[in-house]
Chain A
Amino acid sequence: MEEKILQILEEHCIEALDYDGDSMMEDGIIDSFTVINVVSDLEDEFDIEIDAKYVVAENFKNKEAIVALVQRLLDE
């Protein structure tokens, strides 16, 4: 699963792979338009619905947060 997520990130925002901070948005690594693309691909890849309430900066602060979000949704 993690590998697939990293592939999606690599496609839309390669800088996210090496980012080790805790606010990709504020640090200019990822913008809201890229988040939309990432969300769309995650939904397709894992056949999950990522509700708008989960599409917040906290869940996209770094790659680990994105992996944790997908894991949580798959576990639901």
Chain B
Amino acid sequence: MMDTAFRRVIVIGYGKVTGEVLQHVCEKQEEYGYSLEFIEHEVHPFSVTEKICEEEGIPFHRITDKKELAAFFDKIKEGTLIISASNNFLFPASLVEKEHITIINFHNALLPEYPGRNAPSWVIYMGEKETGITWHYVTAGVDEGNIIVQKRCAVGEDVKAYELAGKLMDLAGEAFRERFADVMAACVEAKEQGFDAGRRMYRSYEVPSDGFFRLTDRPEDIYRLLRSVDYGKNDIFPPMRTMMDGREVKVLRYRKVTPDKRREEEGVLYLPLGKEALLKIKYSSV
């Protein structure tokens, strides 16, 4: 049996990375002898975690109410590792400060840069060439704890927010598997973030460019904005808006196309994107 102070492991989150984390801690359960549970706090239409729990016999708790969830955690008495992967529940200070509880969290940016929500969007919008992931210990401040591990990746010039988010989840799964044993053995040489007290925290209600662009903006900037808020049908951000012929319109969808794909259609405009491409925008009245 591997040595660890954790008698209980709880995974909380949703999405691809949560499934990968859950599978890994399930595989390692026998080696360490901990009990394992999963908490779904936010319901996702394509979640696979319930199926994994069913197949592996992992207790599954759906706790969507924040107070109920805080009360659940408050009852923990034994040495426990809480793994937060794509989770938006903010752990209360009273829980974080408990000595028998350790919480680690996956953040989809290279902390201390881009703390808070929707980091992949802000990374694309700001035109970053590189980003990455951070696993860190959770403290009372949001995304402030010491760093366990980071991994980097390039931000492609056509990448959309959901594609980058997916790539970051893959990286997070890889980093988690690499460092899980160190976390369990409490031998991580965690690195302080060293951020300024006034660093910008990105809030869930903030939208790149306030959700608006002008048709006179550089097409490259418009394309970057549209990619930065593109999560497919997940309405994380409202549709982007612009003014056209004195009326406000919203973007329905967009695509980078070659000039030979240009078709004159109602409700579609094309903007030149460099020398060999066009930005096709389909729009409708607000």
Binding site for B on A (CB under 8 A): 25-26, 28, 31-33, 35-36, 39-40, 43-44, 49-52, 55-57
User: How distant is the Cα of A57 from the Cα of B51 in the complex, in angstroms?
Assistant: 13
Q: Is the CB of A55 within 8 A of B253?
A: no
CB distance from B236 to the nearest CB of A (A): 11
What 0/1 pattern do residues 229 to 253 of B give for CB contact below 8 A with A?
Answer: 0011111000000000000000011
Count CB-based A-B contacts (< 8 Å).
Answer: 45
User: How distant is the Cα of A43 from the Cα of B230 in the complex, in angstroms?
Assistant: 15
CB-based nearest B residue for A35: B46
Known contacts A33-B163, A39-B232; decide if A49 and B46 are in contact (CB<8 Å): no
Binding site for A on B (CB under 8 A): 15-16, 44-46, 48, 51, 162-163, 165-166, 231-235, 252-253, 255
List, in ascending order, chain A residues with CB within 8 A of B232's CB: 35-36, 39-40, 55
Taking a contact as CB atoms closer than 8 A, the residue among B16, B48, B233, B255 that contacts A52 in the complex is B233
CB distance from B223 to the nearest CB of A (A): 15
Q: Is the CB of A50 within 8 A of B233?
A: yes
List, in ascending order, chain B residues with CB within 8 A of A44's CB: 253, 255
Q: Is the CB of B253 within 8 A of A32?
A: no
User: How distant is the Cα of A50 from the Cα of B16 in the complex, in angstroms?
Assistant: 23
Q: Is the CB of A32 within 8 A of B255?
A: no
CB distance from B118 to the nearest CB of A (A): 16
Q: Is the CB of A32 within 8 A of B46?
A: yes
